A and B are shown apart, each in its own frame.
Chain A
Amino acid sequence: MSSNPTVERHLEGRYKHGFFTDIEADSLPPGLDEDVIAAISARKREPEWLLEWRLRAYRKFLKMTEPHWAHLEIEPIDLQAISYYSAPKSDKDKPQSLDEVDPKLLETYDKLGVPLHERARLAGVAVDAVFDSVSVGTTFKKELEKAGVIFCSFAEAVHDHPDLVRRYLGSVVPQHDNYFAALNSAVFSDGSFVYVPKGVRCPMELSTYFRINAAETGQFERTLVVADEGSYVSYLEGCTAPMRDENQLHAAVVELVALEGAEIKYSTVQNWYPGDENGKGGIYNFVTKRGDCRGDDSRISWTQVETGSAITWKYPSCVLSGDNSVGEFYSVALTHNHQQADTGTKMVHLGSNTRSTIISKGISAGHGQNAYRGLVKVGRKAENARNFTQCDSMLIGKRCGAHTFPYIEVQNPTAKVEHEATTSRIGEDQLFYCLQRGISEEDAVSMIVDGFCKQVFRELPMEFAVEAKALLEVSLEGAVG
């Protein structure tokens, strides 16, 4: 059949967050060597041990090569052309409170739809915003302190809670885990740190907004969330970047540690600049996210809505070390125009009675390429492990692709692992049914897509779910017809 004209018509959605903020920045010149790493570390007044840690990572990185196994077409990345540090230069020092934050910055967040104070207050969300490389202010700090929860920028944590950082940094994602994780370990600039003490239920959702602003910078943030015994925390992150013609690299590392009986919910709405409709520009989003259910009865749940970035390469994973621990992965990934995504998860069952659930929904439109890549591994000692995986793909239009690469490795005869996948397109009959009932085509499509993603949206905190849904609609504008 011939290509659907309505689809074509809609394939011209505009990136709504594509402005950049004109503020003075303190940046390092492009390039990467040990001096640059030392300069990053010096600027952040880091202790000696951290500099050494970075340099060790860098030396490992030098021995590694860029991976090419993903179902992606990646233009070569010139790591020497990137600036590894860029901080907004607001007066001399970093702002101490929100009031001191450069108003232009705050304006930026407003444009992004993240009104830092109002929205934070209204929603009761504590927001840590990472602008390029440094964290620019954390709201609700006081309230959190009362509960004993530490929520601050990574740099602050290095100074104020060095023992915690030293104990857990790199304990889930080792420096040499992969090429981009090694790079991040060497050059990470800032990020967020969370520690929830024993038995504490974090009184509010914690949230971080990331934004790449400066040109030719990479963003290499590092997030570490530690939930001590019997604690609970829900963490949200959102990401945007301005429109630029060149590709920008975002290589973050997120480490989660759940001790006995702890639960971490980690939700991401990723809307980095995807490039234009011809595939020019856009963020390379190469992220390593991993959680370790280190204690018995712990639980880690990843939920992601990925609509941005030119290329997404990330596999939020769970290592289920503790007995009775639970790992979950809920994902919606949408690729449109020339976007590519290779995403999925790894569930590594090591403890007894461990359970994991994977629900992945891929939507491809335009020339978008969307791959699910996952690993479910049941080790020899993991008695009674259970996994259920469902990954569904939806194709909108004729030139896109949907791919599924699930790896299942089972070494224990008490395991039950089930994987199901389907690929379909929005059916003419579904569309017609809606149209016949008087629903516009665009509404019909978003309704069908929304239904397709429902299982995942359900896992998001309420207001994020609303945002995710809206984002999907925007991203799909013009995808159908």
Chain B
Amino acid sequence: MSTPAHIVERLDRPAPESWPTWSRALRDRAREGFLAHGLPHSRLEDWKYTSLAGLADGVLDTIGPGEGDGASMRAPVIEHRVLRLEDGRPVDSGPEWPEGVELRPLSEALAEPDEALRGMLEALNTQHPAQAMTALNTADLRHGLVLRVSEGVDAGRLVLAWRSTTQGAAALHNARLLVSLAPGARLDLVEDFSVAGALNVIHQVSLGERSLLRHARMQANPAASWLITRIELAQSADSRFEHTSLDLGLGLARHDVRCCLAESGARCDLAGAYLPTGKAHVDHHLDVRHEAPGCGSSQTYRGVLHDEGRAVFNGRVHVLPGADDSEAHQSNQNLLLSRNAEVDTKPELIIEADEVVASHGATVGQLDELAVFYLRSRGIEESAARRMLTGAFCRSVVECIEDEIVREAFMARLDDHLEQDR
């Protein structure tokens, strides 16, 4: 499978002249890594059910100007404290920040010496074939944001509204977000994707001791779009990451989340609801590494599949030697409601430590017919009863969002989706 020409062309664009040599070397090496392997394909275990190489010809070429009009106009899920990005590029400076919060465009940050930034950027593997999208992103390192919150500071909320321009929608855009929370810092990060074309975003996050990052992400991309996200997270002692993902779009979405619970007491809770309709394809790949004793993690993902929707779930929990007294729970439940839909799920546990409590469960099935009857016997019409039950199934994921404003905004989008859905 050949890599579409426009992707390769993109990599020929040089880095800004103001950038240091190491960043150019990093890009060049990543470029080699990407060109050596091309887009990931189904022979790679991590891409078994989502072969970008297999889909590239069919999708990327057909993405044309105009497809994204509706998407690019959509108002952000929350309209306060918004920073807007187009084709991966920040187009405004975002909200005001309290003292102790620094937010700047990546290109600007890179123009100054910054060892911490360098360390983060150089940490990612760009040579493995399964990491081809990371290699691509690094080779095209250009747009993005650097966000730092100082010790003990509550940065409040930041809403990132990712949009696309109608011009050049066929291109694949790359963006990078680097977030560091110092000990005791807090941030509520909300992301709203409504993007035509293809967007490949990597978040690198470092959570200091006792820091808290709440992250709620939703996407409502149009058909024939690609959204590839990757979150790489390193957590220090007693830090906490709460992540909720809501996929309502019609295109392809691939989400990788990799959490390293590097010090004791760290905890991450990952949750997601996905409702692929049409030909939508949603793939979650989660990799939670318990590296230190006494950490906790959970993965709670629920999906409802209609039409030709396709869902892939691969949740891995790896408890490394020495990470005793870990607790890990995984659950993936799917309602498969159409003849042409498909679910592929694989909840993995790799346990190499002692005193570990780990469990996982995965189900694929339909609505409980008895529950449908119960509702009908109270006078509720069958289609409404089914919608009510399906909604309840997904809502429970969104209900876990702590922040009431975010929760209600997401719930409203979910309800809208459920309403128009059937």
Residues on A lying within 8 angstroms of B by beta carbon are 1, 69, 71, 378, 380, 393, 395, 397-425
Residue of B nearest to A411 (CB): B342
Taking a contact as CB atoms under 8 Å apart, the answer to whether B365 and A415 are in contact is yes
Taking a contact as CB atoms under 8 Å apart, the answer to whether A404 and B363 are in contact is no
Hey, which chain A residues are within 8 Å of B338, CB to CB? 413
Select B341's contact among A1, A402, A408, A413, beta carbons within 8 Å: A413
Chain B interface size band reads 20 to 34
Select A425's contact among B345, B348, B349, B356, beta carbons within 8 Å: B356
> How many whole Å from B289's CB to the nearest CB in chain A?
14
> How many whole Å from B373's CB to the nearest CB in chain A?
17
Give bound CA distance, A380 to B355, whole Å.
42
* Given A399-B321, A405-B348, A408-B345: A415 and B356 interface contact (C-beta under 8 Å): no
Select A420's contact among B348, B353, B356, B361, beta carbons within 8 Å: B361
Taking a contact as CB atoms under 8 Å apart, the answer to whether A423 and B358 are in contact is yes
- Which residues of B, 340-362, contact A by the 8 Å Cβ criterion? 341-362
Taking a contact as CB atoms under 8 Å apart, the answer to whether B348 and A403 are in contact is yes
Hey, which chain B residues are within 8 Å of A380, CB to CB? 339
**Which 6 interchain pairs have the tightest Cβ spacing?**
A423-B358, A401-B352, A404-B349, A416-B365, A417-B364, A419-B362
Hey, which chain A residues are within 8 Å of B337, CB to CB? 413
Taking a contact as CB atoms under 8 Å apart, the answer to whether B344 and A425 are in contact is no
Give bound CA distance, A408 to B362, whole Å.
9
- CB of B42 within 8 Å of the partner chain: no
Taking a contact as CB atoms under 8 Å apart, the answer to whether B359 and A413 are in contact is no
Taking a contact as CB atoms under 8 Å apart, the answer to whether B351 and A395 are in contact is yes
- CB of B324 within 8 Å of the partner chain: yes
**17 additional contacts (CB under 8 A) given A422-B358, A425-B355:** A395-B351, A395-B356, A404-B350, A405-B348, A406-B362, A408-B346, A410-B334, A413-B337, A413-B366, A416-B363, A416-B365, A418-B361, A418-B363, A418-B365, A420-B361, A421-B347, A421-B359
Select B350's contact among A403, A415, A419, A420, beta carbons within 8 Å: A403
Give bound CA distance, A82 to B334, whole Å.
49
Mask, B164-180, CB within 8 Å of A = 1, is 00000000000000000
- CB of B45 within 8 Å of the partner chain: yes
Taking a contact as CB atoms under 8 Å apart, the answer to whether A404 and B360 are in contact is yes
Give bound CA distance, A404 to B356, whole Å.
14
Select A403's contact among B346, B349, B363, B365, beta carbons within 8 Å: B349
- CB of B336 within 8 Å of the partner chain: yes
Taking a contact as CB atoms under 8 Å apart, the answer to whether A414 and B366 are in contact is yes
> How many whole Å from B388's CB to the nearest CB in chain A?
19
Residue of B nearest to A410 (CB): B364
> How many whole Å from A458's CB to the nearest CB in chain B?
23
Taking a contact as CB atoms under 8 Å apart, the answer to whether B355 and A415 are in contact is no
Residue of A nearest to B365 (CB): A416
| 13 contacting pairs across A/B (C-beta < 8 A) | A400-B352, A402-B351, A403-B349, A408-B362, A412-B339, A413-B366, A415-B336, A415-B365, A416-B363, A416-B364, A417-B364, A419-B361, A421-B359
> How many whole Å from B232's CB to the nearest CB in chain A?
23
Taking a contact as CB atoms under 8 Å apart, the answer to whether A410 and B321 are in contact is no
Taking a contact as CB atoms under 8 Å apart, the answer to whether A425 and B343 are in contact is no
Select B354's contact among A406, A418, A425, beta carbons within 8 Å: A425
* Given A403-B348, A407-B346: A413 and B354 interface contact (C-beta under 8 Å): no
Give bound CA distance, A405 to B348, whole Å.
5
Residue of B nearest to A400 (CB): B352
User: Which residue, of B334, B337, B358, B364, has the highest number of chain A Cβ atoms within 10 A?
Assistant: B364
Select A398's contact among B354, B357, B361, B365, beta carbons within 8 Å: B354
Residue of B nearest to A420 (CB): B361
Residue of B nearest to A375 (CB): B346
Hey, which chain B residues are within 8 Å of A404, CB to CB? 347-350, 360
Taking a contact as CB atoms under 8 Å apart, the answer to whether B344 and A407 are in contact is yes
Give bound CA distance, A418 to B334, whole Å.
10
Residues on B lying within 8 angstroms of A by beta carbon are 45, 321, 324, 334, 336-339, 341-366
- Per DSSP, chain A at the interface is strand
Give bound CA distance, A66 to B133, whole Å.
28
Residue of A nearest to B363 (CB): A418
Taking a contact as CB atoms under 8 Å apart, the answer to whether B354 and A409 are in contact is no
> How many whole Å from B17's CB to the nearest CB in chain A?
45
Select B351's contact among A397, A401, A415, beta carbons within 8 Å: A401
Taking a contact as CB atoms under 8 Å apart, the answer to whether A422 and B365 are in contact is no
Taking a contact as CB atoms under 8 Å apart, the answer to whether B357 and A424 are in contact is yes
Taking a contact as CB atoms under 8 Å apart, the answer to whether A423 and B356 are in contact is yes
Taking a contact as CB atoms under 8 Å apart, the answer to whether B361 and A405 are in contact is no
Hey, which chain B residues are within 8 Å of A422, CB to CB? 358-359
Hey, which chain B residues are within 8 Å of A405, CB to CB? 346, 348
Hey, which chain B residues are within 8 Å of A414, CB to CB? 366
* Given A416-B365, A418-B363: A408 and B343 interface contact (C-beta under 8 Å): yes
Hey, which chain A residues are within 8 Å of B339, CB to CB? 380, 412-413
Give bound CA distance, A411 to B342, whole Å.
5
Residue of A nearest to B341 (CB): A413
Hey, which chain A residues are within 8 Å of B366, CB to CB? 413-414, 416
Give bound CA distance, A380 to B343, whole Å.
12
Taking a contact as CB atoms under 8 Å apart, the answer to whether A1 and B355 are in contact is yes
Give bound CA distance, A402 to B354, whole Å.
11
Hey, which chain A residues are within 8 Å of B336, CB to CB? 410, 412-413, 415
Taking a contact as CB atoms under 8 Å apart, the answer to whether A419 and B342 are in contact is no
> How many whole Å from B24's CB to the nearest CB in chain A?
36
> How many whole Å from A378's CB to the nearest CB in chain B?
8
Residue of B nearest to A403 (CB): B350
Give bound CA distance, A405 to B324, whole Å.
21
* Given A413-B339, A417-B365: A402 and B355 interface contact (C-beta under 8 Å): no
Give bound CA distance, A289 to B357, whole Å.
33
> How many whole Å from A202's CB to the nearest CB in chain B?
37
Hey, which chain A residues are within 8 Å of B324, CB to CB? 1, 398
> How many whole Å from A453's CB to the nearest CB in chain B?
19
> How many whole Å from B287's CB to the nearest CB in chain A?
13
Hey, which chain A residues are within 8 Å of B345, CB to CB? 408
* Given A419-B347, A422-B359: A395 and B354 interface contact (C-beta under 8 Å): yes
Give bound CA distance, A313 to B189, whole Å.
45
Hey, which chain B residues are within 8 Å of A395, CB to CB? 351, 354, 356
Hey, which chain B residues are within 8 Å of A71, CB to CB? 350
Give bound CA distance, A392 to B44, whole Å.
28
* Given A69-B45, A419-B363: A408 and B358 interface contact (C-beta under 8 Å): no
* Given A404-B348, A417-B363, A417-B364: A410 and B354 interface contact (C-beta under 8 Å): no
